[in-house]
């Protein structure tokens, strides 16, 4: 029997702990988490804030009690202050100021990521805040009850910023979405797809302000105004959603780091130190799109990394098969999913990349109800012909379609293989000449 200490128990950590307890009953598992809750589905925060769900209860799928019931020892509201890697000791401080020290045979670091703070004047004013944790969302919801809070500026038009802009607008607030980039969702989609999302936001009342750099946040005690290099905006609340960085505080001087500061791990999630593993948003992944190590912070990646690390610390060799960064977003009924590389990103990385596109109705024209256009773009390498990425957008539920492209990237399927792929047809679901087949046939 060995003693395994897990630092951090959100998605990756919880997956690791549950995997160990379910498969290796002889192992001793100790968990540290500085929060008061675990397993919070942050991707559901905007739904809660925007009143699209009745409450936060369903956003949790595990708890201290559940982990303890399965055999773990759990230190909640206990922040790990340092790790002695030479002597294999973890030092934590609980909410009462008491030091807790645990030895380990194997260590799994699941420290997650930290929101980026803008180093500008006024970033410490009241009502300038992040929305990442349960406590953040709860605080925002309570403040939204104040009828005097009318103007909200969301800084950052990535996934979280766009989702929160929709949520606040659904609450009847005046929303200004500001980003230094010239569009939203940069990096996830090519320009034509980003434009679809921009138009959807504008159509539903979100004010778009792209190509603007935030210079200052003004106010006496609480925020009153946001100043950019082009204009200023009234603000009763400011949400900083400009991105995240890996939380490497506990190992930045001891473990090998990736270029962005994430812990660099191998296919078993092991770091540069024996007996030390890193999972989730604080660690790297193997990206099948570029066939190299990368950093892609997604909950799905975190869960898989936790499962892989759990088996390996218990002596069962299990390698990651890599990821493609599959992701999706749904805003005012516009569903967008993507995986792998966009054409812009592939070109920037040096691929001689091409793309083929097709737009058509999801189902035959004689299906009059629940039928709308679907736009698909497939990115592929001109020389090897292998699929590098795909993007799909529609008001239809096209979420399952991206899984096929994810597998295609993983298995190095060529665009030519997709041309005659056996795709079933039934009018209730698709067309005989469906958008996947037609896009593939259009490849040069």
43 part of the active site: yes
pLDDT single digits (tens) 195-209: 999 999 999 999 999
Task: Assign 224 a pLDDT band (cuts: 50, 70, 90).
Answer: very high
Can you list the pairs that 292-297 forms with residues at least 24 positions away whose Cβ atoms lie under 8 Å? 293/258, 293/264, 295/246, 295/258, 295/260, 295/262, 296/323, 296/325, 297/113, 297/244, 297/246
SS3 content of the chain, % helix, strand, coil (to 5): 25, 30, 45
Catalytic annotation, pick one of 11, 184, 282, 311: 11
Quickly count: other Cβ atoms within 10 Å of residue 203's Cβ: 10
Percent of the chain with pLDDT over 90: 99
Write down the number of H helices and E strands in the chain.
11, 25
Closest by alpha carbon to 118, among 249, 223, 264?
223
421 pLDDT exceeds 90? yes
pLDDT single digits (tens) 123-162: 999 999 999 999 999 999 999 999 999 999 999 999 999 9
pLDDT single digits (tens) 343-388: 999 999 999 999 999 999 999 999 999 999 999 999 999 999 999 9
Closest by alpha carbon to 88, among 67, 108, 74?
108
Closest by alpha carbon to 9, among 23, 30, 26?
30
3-class DSSP state for residue 418?
A: helix
Question: What number is the average pLDDT over the span 278-303?
Answer: 97
Question: What number is the average pLDDT over the span 274-285?
Answer: 98
**What is the pLDDT, as a whole number, of residue 235?**
98
Q: Provide Rg for the chain, Cα atoms.
A: 23
136 part of the active site: no
**What is the pLDDT, as a whole number, of residue 290?**
98
What's the rounded Cα separation, in Å, for the pair 415 and 444?
A: 10
Query: Are 9 and 33 a contacting pair, CB within 8 Å?
Result: yes
Catalytic annotation, pick one of 43, 136, 171, 314: 43
**What is the pLDDT, as a whole number, of residue 325?**
96
**What is the pLDDT, as a whole number, of residue 140?**
96
Closest by alpha carbon to 19, among 306, 276, 267, 268?
306
First-to-last C-alpha distance (Å) of the chain? 58
**What is the pLDDT, as a whole number, of residue 364?**
95
HSE at residue 221, side-chain half, CA atoms within 13 A, is 0
**Dihedral pair phi/psi, residue 394, rounded to 5°:** -175, 165
The DSSP letter of residue 66 is: H
Percent of the chain with pLDDT over 70: 100
**What is the pLDDT, as a whole number, of residue 113?**
96
**What is the pLDDT, as a whole number, of residue 232?**
98
pLDDT single digits (tens) 310-322: 999 999 999 999 9
pLDDT single digits (tens) 10-31: 999 999 999 999 999 999 999 9
User: Is the alpha carbon torsion for 99, 100, 105, 111 positive or negative?
Assistant: negative
**What is the pLDDT, as a whole number, of residue 1?**
84
With a CB cutoff of 8 Å and minimum separation 6, the contacts of 65 are none
Domains of the chain as residue ranges with CATH: 3-114+245-313 (3.50.50.60), 117-242 (3.50.50.60), 333-441 (3.30.390.30)
176 pLDDT exceeds 90? yes
**What is the pLDDT, as a whole number, of residue 141?**
95
Query: Are 374 and 362 a contacting pair, CB within 8 Å?
Result: yes
Quickly count: other Cβ atoms within 10 Å of residue 80's Cβ: 22
């Amino acid at each position: 029997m060995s003693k395994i200490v897990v630092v951090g128990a959100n998605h990756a950590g919880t997956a690791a702990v549950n995997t160990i307890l379910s498969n290796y009953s002889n192992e001793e598992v100790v968990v540290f988490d500085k929060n008061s809750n675990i397993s919070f589905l942050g991707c559901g925060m905007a739904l809660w804030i925007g009143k699209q769900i009745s409450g936060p209860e369903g956003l949790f799928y595990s708890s201290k009690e559940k982990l303890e019931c399965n055999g773990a020892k759990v230190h909640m509201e206990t922040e790990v202050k340092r790790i002695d890697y030479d002597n294999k000791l973890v030092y934590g401080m609980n909410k009462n100021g008491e030091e807790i020290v645990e030895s380990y045979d194997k260590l799994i670091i699941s420290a997650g990521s930290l929101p980026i703070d803008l180093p500008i004047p006024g970033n410490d004013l009241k009502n300038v805040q992040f929305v990442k944790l349960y406590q953040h969302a709860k605080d925002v919801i309570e403040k939204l009850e104040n009828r005097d809070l009318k103007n909200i500026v969301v800084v950052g038009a990535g996934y979280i910023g766009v989702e929160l802009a929709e949520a606040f607008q659904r609450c009847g607030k005046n929303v200004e979405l500001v980003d230094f980039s010239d569009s939203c969702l940069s990096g996830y989609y090519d320009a034509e797809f980003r434009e679809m999302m921009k138009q959807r936001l504008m159509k539903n009342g979100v004010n778009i302000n792209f190509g603007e750099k935030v210079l200052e946040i003004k106010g006496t005690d609480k925020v009153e105004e946001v100043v950019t290099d082009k204009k200023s905006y009234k603000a009763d609340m400011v949400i900083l959603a400009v991105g995240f960085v890996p939380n490497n505080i506990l190992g930045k001087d001891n473990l090998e780091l990736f270029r962005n500061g994430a812990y660099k791990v191998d296919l078993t999630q092991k770091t540069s130190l024996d007996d030390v593993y890193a999972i989730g948003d604080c660690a790297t992944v193997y990206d099948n799109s570029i066939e190299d190590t990368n950093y892609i912070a997604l909950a799905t990646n975190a869960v898989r990394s936790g499962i892989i690390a759990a088996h390996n610390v218990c002596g069962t060799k299990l390698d990651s098969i890599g990821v493609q960064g599959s992701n999706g977003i749904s805003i005012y009924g516009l569903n967008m999913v993507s995986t792998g590389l966009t054409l812009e990103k592939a070109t920037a990385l040096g691929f001689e990349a091409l793309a083929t596109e097709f737009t058509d109705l999801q189902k035959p024209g004689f299906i009059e109800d629940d039928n709308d256009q679907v736009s698909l773009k497939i990115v592929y390498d001109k020389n090897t012909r292998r699929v590098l990425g795909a993007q799909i957008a529609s008001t239809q539920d096209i979420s399952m379609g991206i899984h096929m492209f994810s597998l295609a990237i993983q298995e190095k399927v060529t665009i030519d293989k997709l041309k005659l792929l056996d795709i079933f047809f039934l009018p209730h679901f698709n067309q005989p000449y469906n958008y996947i087949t037609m896009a593939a046939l259009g490849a040069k």
